[in-house]
Structure 1
Amino acid sequence: MPDHRNWKPLEITPASVGAEPGAKGLAAYLDALPDLAGLLVGERALVFRDFGVDPDELDTVMDRLLPDRAAYVHGNSPRTKVGRNVYTSTEYPPEFVISMHNELSYAHRWPTRLLFFCHTAPETGGATPVVNGALWLASLDDEVREAFAGGVRYTQNLHGGRGLGKSWQETFETEDRDAVEEFLATTEADWKWLPGDALRVTQDRPATLRHPVTGEEVWFNQSDQWHPAALGEDAAALARVLPADELPQSVSFADGSPIPDAYVLQVRDRGLAAAVDVDWHRGDLLLIDNVLVAHGRRAFTGSRRVLVAMSS
């Protein structure tokens, strides 16, 4: 078994690869690279540091790093679309840490790659922590891994325009119910329209996944981000007054039994403890394999603006 304890992303700078700074220099380096996909799988994550890519030239780089840029459909994180399938990375308040997760791991389809771009670096903090999913899985107690072996069940309650959490219109980027149903019909999810133009979506998903190239098993679920015990006092207070199936989002084991608080707290805390921080400078980029590596966000001060795009 590989020793993952000293893993960190590969940092690529103009000096380390003999490239010119800027978007054109980075694009030229990528064009000459014989096997970007192989490099990414082998290294799990790549940091393009000190190229100083200007936001106006970002598409030049994205077109090479993300060959099939995908929309953030069925995503549960608050984001704003700012370009051609380019989004703000998250809009949670800056004082909160966002725990480790693989993008859309609760969904039937997830992106294979994520690309982050630093438009504005924070004054302090604000790193994007990344964790090797195999190391995260290995860090968990046997009891926890065995309990999750049967998978997890996610439930979303999406309002129709007014209510807690996200609306189905925001989530699926459409106002058309038929389009939502057409999308959900391909996802192996159960769904039901509720009074008040609300939508409930339930999905059973595995807790771990094997990478299609390396065959490595990695932790691959967002149970801690859907469980009130791991989301702070506001979420816990809401869970005390609303049944689990009425919360904006909730999670259980796939057989419907509750996940103990201690399990999701262990998952959250050990993922963050095993993570490596990628600090940001304006114009830097981070490309990750979304199965092999999970990501999060450290708390920060100042006007941090990190954009994200993904590839199917």
Structure 2
Amino acid sequence: MKKLEFKNIKRKAVDVRSETAISLEFLENNATLPLIIKPAIANLDLAEWTCANRDFIDAKLLKHGAILLRDFQITTAPVFERFGLAICSELFNENGEHPRETVSGNVYTPVFYPSDRKLLWHNENSFNHFFPQKILFACRQPAQEGGETPIVDSRKVFELLNPKIKKLFLKKKVMYLRNYSDRLGLNWQKVFQTNNKAEVETRCRQAFIDFDWRENRLRTRSIRPAAVKHPKTGEMTWFTQAQHWHPACLDEQTRQLFKSSFQAEDLPRNCYYGDGTFIEDSVMEEICNIYQQLEVTFSWKKGDVLVLDNLLTAHGRNPFVGERQLLVAMGDMMSFADIEDLGEGK
């Protein structure tokens, strides 16, 4: 973890109510997210302004769940990381979970996923015990066509869910099952960034993950909540990656490939109700329909920065044509234990 040190920065806060500093707007008149913040004065340093007005930004992020910072021209990894260390107390710099590349320090490329397919909505690392409170994106180069990062208010997903489905998930939770091998997906050495099985087992226990070995192949199971109470707002929010793990949510080509190649328990990823019973395809279809209904998209512009409260807002990625270059950072890590403790104290 790395913390930011500002040198030669005046600590006098900018009056955010003044149009001489920033302007606030939305994509549409009735939109609630993302809140768009633009500089209203020339050469406004985003990291410096953020450092001086952190409480203001945090309050807006809690209200809207997503902030799009536009026209600040953040296009390089060092400048993006500097901003990240201004808006987050710490940045997460241990990332073997997804096939992506480290650009510099605490900055990554987006997760690899075929450009002709849609990456469905999810809350980052919600299948893990530990996850970021904030996730940040910066656009170095927008795609020639498509490539938007659709976002969804997870509070509204929770509100719109069929009460019967909601009650079932709240009671049973979600079991995430994963098989690590060289056959398809990432092997355990890549994800855990070690060749030591004992170290893997220790980390699994620390993260409340059940595991078993099949020669050199690893299978893990973890049970996580499907919905949580936000530790600061007290709002209930749908917080899951079931759309990424359930076979019914795969594109037709991938689903048929998996069906012909694996038994259900041997799929690279799968998910069940927390008691181990199958989640019905119809249930996942209904959940995905709600996400689709609530989805908000905008076209990336070079220099854009998107900040999400990871508990309040899910994100995805649309198919695209041409080269697409985004930077990603994650910060302010917490765990389900933190949420439960804070929730009980309210």
TM-score, with structure 1 as normaliser: 0.90
Q: Secondary structure at the match of 2:179?
A: strand
Determine which of 294, 307, 313 is the counterpart of 1:293. Answer: 313
Matched, 1:61 2:83: yes
CA distance, structure 1, for counterparts of residue 321 and residue 154 of structure 2: 28
Matched, 1:209 2:232: no
CA drift of 1:19 comes to: 5.6
CA distance, structure 2, for counterparts of residue 192 and residue 34 of structure 1: 44
Matched, 1:14 2:34: no
**What count of residue pairs does the alignment treat as equivalent?**
299
- Summarize deviations over 1:24-44 as a string: whole Å, max 9, x none: x11221122151333321231
Structure 1: unaligned runs, 5 residues or longer: none
- 1:15-94 pair list within 5 angstroms: 15=40, 18=41, 20-21=43-44, 25-35=45-55, 36-55=57-76, 56-71=78-93, 73=95, 75=97, 77-94=98-115
* Equivalent residues of 1:224, 1:265 under 8 A apart: no
* Equivalent residues of 1:13, 1:48 under 8 A apart: yes
CA drift of 1:106 comes to: 0.7
Structure 2: unaligned runs, 5 residues or longer: 1-29, 334-346
- 1:159-308 pair list within 5 angstroms: 159=181, 162-195=182-215, 197-237=216-256, 238-308=258-328
Letter in 2 for 1:60: R
Q: Secondary structure at the match of 1:138?
A: helix
Question: Cα–Cα, structure 1 residues 218 and 74, in superposed 2: closer, same or farther, change >3 Å?
Answer: farther
* Equivalent residues of 1:118, 1:283 under 8 A apart: yes
CA drift of 1:228 comes to: 0.9
Q: For residue 153 of structure 1, what is the aligned residue in structure 2?
A: 175
- 1:83-122 pair list within 5 angstroms: 83-122=104-143
CA distance, structure 2, for counterparts of residue 124 and residue 166 of structure 1: 29
Q: For residue 309 of structure 1, what is the aligned residue in structure 2?
A: 329
Letter in 1 for 2:43: E
* Equivalent residues of 1:156, 1:201 under 8 A apart: yes
Q: For residue 16 of structure 2, what is the aligned residue in structure 1?
A: none
CA distance, structure 2, for counterparts of residue 119 and residue 173 of structure 1: 28
More deviation in 281-290 or 49-58?
49-58
- 1:124-163 pair list within 5 angstroms: 124-149=145-170, 150-159=172-181, 162-163=182-183
CA drift of 1:60 comes to: 2.1
The higher-RCO structure (CA 8 Å, 6+ apart) is: 1
* Equivalent residues of 2:51, 2:87 under 8 A apart: no
Q: Secondary structure at the match of 1:308?
A: strand
Question: Cα–Cα, structure 1 residues 181 and 145, in superposed 2: closer, same or farther, change >3 Å?
Answer: same
RMSD: 1.8
CA drift of 1:68 comes to: 1.0
TM-score, with structure 2 as normaliser: 0.81
- Percent identity over the alignment is 33
Question: Cα–Cα, structure 1 residues 11 and 51, in superposed 2: closer, same or farther, change >3 Å?
Answer: same
Q: Secondary structure at the match of 1:111?
A: strand
